[in-house]
Amino acid sequence: MKKILNNKLKRTVLYSVIGLSAVYAGLSFSSQSVAQEIQTSAAVTLPGLPDFTAIVAETENAVVNIRTMETVSTRYRGGFDPEADPSDLFRFFFGPDFMPPRAMPQPRNRGNEQPERTVPRGVGSGFIISDDGYIITNNHVISGASKILVTLNNGKEYTAKVIGADQRTDVALIKIEGGDKLPTLKIGDSNSLKKGQWVLAIGSPFGLDSTVTSGIVSAINRDTGDYLPFIQTDVAVNPGNSGGPLINLKGEVVGVNSQIVSRSGGFMGISLSIPIDEAMQIVDQLKTSGKVTRGRIGVQIGEVADEVAKALGLDNSSGALVSNVEKNGPADKAGILPGDVIIAFNGAEVKKWSDLPRIVGQTKPDTEAEIEVWRRGKEQKLKITVGEIPSSGPEQAGTPDAETDTAAVKADRLGLTVGNISQADMTKMGITGGVQINEVTGPAETAGLNTGDIILAVNNQDIQNVKQFKEVVGKLAKDKAAALLIRREKLTQWVPVTPSK
Half-sphere exposure at residue 467, Cβ-oriented, CA atoms within 13 angstroms: 0
112 φ, ψ to 5°?
Answer: -95, 10
Q: Which amino acid is at 390?
A: P
Per-residue confidence (pLDDT) for residue 310, from 0 to 100:
87
Q: Give the DSSP letter string of 208-237.
A: -TTEEEEEEEEEEEEE-SSS-EEEEE-S--
Per-residue confidence (pLDDT) for residue 375, from 0 to 100:
92
Closest CA to 220 of 277, 285, 305, 301: 277
Per-residue confidence (pLDDT) for residue 84, from 0 to 100:
55
Per-residue confidence (pLDDT) for residue 140, from 0 to 100:
92
Boundaries of every domain in the chain: 61-100+115-175, 186-289, 296-388, 404-497
Marked catalytic residue, from 125, 204, 210, 242: 242
- Residue 140 annotated in active site: yes
Positive or negative: CA dihedral 204, 210, 216, 217: positive
Q: How far apart, in whole angstroms, are the C-alpha atoms of residue 284 and residue 474?
A: 58
H or E stretch covering 260: strand 252-260
All residues at 6 or more sequence positions from 218 whose CB lies less than 8 Å from its CB, including other chains: 195, 232, 233, 234, 270
12 φ, ψ to 5°?
Answer: -65, -45
Q: Fold match between 61-100+115-175 and 296-388?
A: no
Q: How far apart, in whole angstroms, are the C-alpha atoms of residue 242 and residue 140?
A: 8
H or E stretch covering 31: helix 2-42
Q: How far apart, in whole angstroms, are the C-alpha atoms of residue 343 and residue 322?
A: 11
Per-residue confidence (pLDDT) for residue 160, from 0 to 100:
95
- The percent of residues above 90 in pLDDT, for the chain, comes to 39
186-289 maps to which CATH number? 2.40.10.10
Paired strand residues for 67: 123, 149
Q: How far apart, in whole angstroms, are the C-alpha atoms of residue 313 and residue 105?
A: 84
- Residue 422 annotated in active site: no
404-497 maps to which CATH number? 2.30.42.10
- Residue 242 annotated in active site: yes
Per-residue confidence (pLDDT) for residue 35, from 0 to 100:
44
Whether 215 contacts 236, CB under 8 Å: yes
First to last CA, the chain: 116
375-380 contacts, C-beta under 8 A, 24 or more apart: 375/337, 375/339, 375/340, 375/341, 376/457, 376/460, 376/461, 376/462, 377/312, 377/313, 377/460, 379/343
Per-residue confidence (pLDDT) for residue 354, from 0 to 100:
82
How much is the CA Rg of the chain, to the nearest whole Å? 35
Helices (H), 43-62: 53-59
Per-residue confidence (pLDDT) for residue 484, from 0 to 100:
87
Question: Any idea what DSSP says for residue 159?
Answer: E
Name the CATH superfamily, with its identifier, for domain 296-388.
PDZ domain (2.30.42.10)
Marked catalytic residue, from 140, 214, 223, 277: 140
Per-residue confidence (pLDDT) for residue 429, from 0 to 100:
79
pLDDT digits (tens, 9 = 90+) for 61-96: 999 999 998 876 555 444 445 555 555 555 544 455
All residues at 6 or more sequence positions from 66 whose CB lies less than 8 Å from its CB, including other chains: 123, 124, 125, 126, 137, 141, 142, 148, 149, 150, 151, 160, 174, 204, 243
What is the topology classification, in CATH, of domain 61-100+115-175?
Thrombin, subunit H (2.40.10)
Q: What is the pLDDT along the chain (501 residues), one digit of tens a residue?
A: 344 444 544 454 444 444 444 444 444 434 444 445 444 444 455 566 889 999 999 999 999 999 998 876 555 444 445 555 555 555 544 455 545 555 555 555 555 555 666 667 789 999 999 999 999 999 999 988 899 999 999 999 999 999 999 988 899 999 999 778 999 999 999 999 999 999 999 999 998 999 999 999 999 988 765 567 899 999 999 999 999 999 999 999 999 999 988 877 788 899 999 999 999 999 999 999 988 888 999 988 888 888 888 888 888 888 999 988 888 899 999 999 989 999 999 999 998 888 898 889 888 899 999 999 999 889 999 999 999 886 433 333 233 333 333 334 455 588 888 888 877 777 777 788 888 888 888 888 888 888 888 998 888 888 888 888 888 888 888 778 888 888 887 788 888 888 876
pLDDT digits (tens, 9 = 90+) for 43-58: 455 566 889 999 999 9
Marked catalytic residue, from 125, 166, 170, 355: 170
